[in-house]
Amino acid sequence: MTPEQDIPSVQSAITTLPPELFIKLCAFLPPADLFTLSQVCRKFHGYLCAPNSFSTQQIWKVSRLKFMLKEDMPPPEGMNEKKYVELLMMERGCQICKRVKLCKIYWEFEVRSCEECFLIKAVNLSKENLKSWLDDKKLIFDSIMEYATQRAIKYGTLENGKYY
């Protein structure tokens, strides 16, 4: 048997898991393993990456509460659990340059970035654009900053009115 022929038989054993069992299995997995699992096949990707599925969001929430013990704050309004968990995974480093280095979560931009990448990104938004972007998103922005402040207070990272 060639390796190509071998793949379907191996896959079928794992991927024929009924969704209920899949969800139960996921309850034992930390977020990093969930991400790996989501890349195994289209079916798992579907289970784990559906932004509007209650079951999907529940899988990530259970994993977060079980394995990221500090992270018991719910995600900011409008952000789904998967996106939230993805942002919280500091050990994965910068989402822009992909390097593992000291990063900060920029809640207003929904990105975890190193300072260098953030400066490049921020400079690219001219003042004009930034203003209309902020006007556009004023309400969302206010609520997200309120959220960021609450987090900073909760985790003791608020310094001189700035959070880190």
Inter-helix orientation angle 31-38/81-88, to 10° = 120
Determine if 97 is a binding residue for Zn ion (CB under 5 A): yes
> Rounded CA gap, 137 and 132, in Å?
8
Nearer to Zn ion, 77 or 115 (CB): 115
Position among 114, 144, 148, 163 found at the interface with Zn ion (CB under 5 A): 114
Q: Which stretch binds Zn ion (CB under 5 A): 16-24, 109-117, 119-127, 132-140?
A: 109-117
Q: Would you give the distance in Å from CA 131 to the centre of its chain? A: 27
Position among 37, 117, 144, 148 found at the interface with Zn ion (CB under 5 A): 117
> Rounded CA gap, 11 and 83, in Å?
27
- ∠ CA 95-81-69, nearest 5°, is 85
Determine if 96 is a binding residue for Zn ion (CB under 5 A): yes
Nearest distance, CB of residue 119 and Zn ion, angstroms: 10
Nearest distance, CB of residue 138 and Zn ion, angstroms: 28
Which phi and psi (to 5°) does residue 40 adopt?
A: -70, -45
Determine if 105 is a binding residue for Zn ion (CB under 5 A): no
Task: Please report, as ranges, the residues that interact with Zn ion according to CB under 5 A.
Answer: 94, 96-97, 114, 117
